[in-house]
Chain A
């Protein structure tokens, strides 16, 4: 079974500062895909960023970037220049060809940006 672990249930950051959310996963597969989703208070899930395991270069989307460490099975999300609109639950997710194309989600990290 695939497991995704987010060890930080809650985090806070000052506006304009940088914060890193951690995610680790357990798999025996070599080919897989990783995602970070954001769920704001409206509860609408939104894709933040995604990474293919065979790509060594870390993905970046504007203020959001990942630190993908394949050997350590770690996939952390860095948010730079935090904004009030970044306040949300953040979920890490894993997907692999040999697991029926299912998405496996972590338990989430609740991030609060403090003005």
Chain B
């Protein structure tokens, strides 16, 4: 079955620690996105990538980093500079950057908690 997988489902971070959230898709989509979801704030864009080896900052990129070395993978690292990382993180993809009516396909999410 084609889709987006995110792992782990739950992740715990200690103070000063970097952690990496995995996002993999087998849909052959070009564009991939990372969102942060907090109660009452909807989805806020952290980073997005429209093509391999290229990515752009979203509205809340500070304290996060990404890479896009392969088309199917778009990992997100939450660095120690992110002072309030507790949130639900969603990864998404679209078939092509220019297909504007195309919907985003979402992964099941990762819940990050700070110890």
A residues apposed to B, CB below 8 Å: 6, 9, 32-33, 35, 42-47, 50, 52, 91, 95-97, 100-103, 105-108
- Contact flag A50-B43 (CB < 8 Å), given A43-B88, A45-B90: no
Does B100 contact A101, Cβ atoms closer than 8 Å? yes
Q: How many pairs, one residue from A and one from B, have CB atoms within 8 Å of each other in the complex? A: 53
Does A101 contact B90, Cβ atoms closer than 8 Å? no
Instruction: Give B71-115 as 1s and 0s: 1 = Cβ < 8 Å from A's Cβ atoms.
Output: 000000000000000001010101001101101101011000000
Q: What count of chain B residues pass the 8 Å CB interface test?
A: 26
**B42: which of A33, A91, A95 is its contact (CB, 8 Å)?**
A91
Could you tell me the distance between the alpha carbons of A35 and B106 in the complex, rounded to whole angstroms?
Answer: 14
Does B42 contact A108, Cβ atoms closer than 8 Å? yes
Shortest CB distance A95–B (Å): 6
Does B40 contact A102, Cβ atoms closer than 8 Å? no
Residue of A with least CB distance to B41? A107
Chain A residues whose CB sits within 8 angstroms of the CB of B48 once the complex forms: 100, 102
Does B45 contact A103, Cβ atoms closer than 8 Å? yes
Could you tell me the distance between the alpha carbons of A43 and B29 in the complex, rounded to whole angstroms?
Answer: 22
